[in-house]
Every structure is written in C-alpha cells, then in structure tokens.
Amino acid sequence: MAGVGYIAISESSRDARVTEVSLTILGEEKLVEARAVTAPVYAGIINGVSAKDFNRLITILDRFYDNLTAFENVPAPRRGNNAGT
C-alpha cells in the first residue's frame, strides 16, 4: 500500500521501535471509494438486527478472539501420515 501511495510509513520520533502508519490523501480518497462500495452490503447484512443484538455479537466475537490468542504459542498439529495410527 505504501508502494502505490495509499499509506505513509515513518519511524516514531518518540520510540524508534515503533513504526507509524497513516493514510495519505490518496489513501483517504480510496477509503471513501471503498466505503461507498461496501456500505450497501453492510446495510444489507445488518438489516433487521437490533443494536442490542449487534453489540452482543461483537461481545461474543471479542470473546472468541480472546480465546484464540491463548493458542498463539501452541504448536500446530503435524500434518501427513502418522505412523502407528
């Protein structure tokens, strides 16, 4: 995205370990275009869903995400032929 000019990347002036990323004017224009395309889809998806139900869904999805982060350091199961099974 930086290569096509949508974002600017810079080192933080306060902490050299931090990379700051921001939208450029071109990136902001593309974001407006993307939102115009996706807004009708989003409106259709949430049609008939109350704010209460939507917020509950977000809470549940947050819980799923938190549960998944517990697996970050768990090695993935080995694939392929398991001898002896």
pLDDT at residue 70, as a whole number: 83
Per-residue pLDDT of 10-29, as tens digits, reads: 998 888 889 999 999 999 99
Instruction: Provide the pLDDT confidence category of residue 79 given band limits of 50, 70 and 90.
Output: confident
Per DSSP, 79 falls in state P
Domain ranges of the chain: 7-69
pLDDT at residue 31, as a whole number: 96
DSSP codes, 49-77? --HHHHHHHHHHHHHHHHHHHTTTTSPPP
The mean pLDDT value of the chain amounts to 89
1: CB partners within 8 A, 6+ apart: 7, 27
